[in-house]
Chain A
Amino acid sequence: MLGAPVRHGGDLLTEHHLKTPLSFEDVQKLALGDVVFLSGRVYTARDKAHALMRQKGCPVSLEGAALYHCGPLIREGKVLSAGPTTSGRMARYTEEILRLGVRAIIGKGGVPGEPFRNRAVYLAFPGGCGAAAALQLNVTGVHLQELGMAESLWVFEAKSLGPMIVAIDTHGNDLYQEVRRSAIERTKI
Chain B
Amino acid sequence: MRNVVIDATVRALQRAQTSLPDWVLQRIEAAARHETNSVARSHLEFMLKNVRIARETRLPLCQDTGLPIFHVEMGRDLLLDFDLREAVAEGVRIATEQIPLRPNVVDPLTRKNSGNNTGQGMPDIILEIVDGRGLCLTAFPKGAGSENMSIVGMLNPADDPFDFILKTVAERATNACPPLFLGIGLGGTFDLAARLAKRALFNMPGSSPMEMDLLRRVNALGIGPMGLGGDTTALGVKIERAFCHTASLPVAINFQCWAHRCATEVIF
> Which residues of A pack against B, CB within 8 Å?
5-13, 33, 35, 48, 70-73, 75, 80-83, 85-86, 88, 108-110, 124, 126-135, 148-150, 163, 165, 167, 175-176, 178-180, 182-184, 186-187
Contacts and interface: CB of A to CB of B under 8 A. Distances in A.
A132 B227 contact: no
16 contacts: A7-B39, A7-B229, A13-B38, A81-B60, A108-B226, A109-B145, A109-B175, A126-B226, A131-B53, A131-B54, A131-B57, A132-B53, A150-B103, A180-B174, A184-B167, A187-B167
B204 to A, nearest CB: 17
A121 to B, nearest CB: 14
Interface stretch (B62-70, B234-242, B243-251): B62-70
Interface stretch (B1-9, B44-52, B71-79, B194-202): B44-52
Contacts of B39: 7-9, 13, 33, 165
Nearest to A4: B222
A179 B227 contact: yes
B46 A10 contact: no
- Contact size range, B: 35 or more
A33 B223 CA distance: 14
Nearest to A182: B222
A133 B57 CA distance: 13
A148 to B, nearest CB: 5
Contact of A165 (B42, B111, B257): B42
B123 interface: no
A118 B53 CA distance: 38
B62 A13 contact: no
Given A127-B62, A183-B222, 10 more contacts: A35-B42, A71-B63, A83-B63, A86-B145, A109-B145, A126-B47, A130-B61, A131-B50, A163-B42, A165-B39
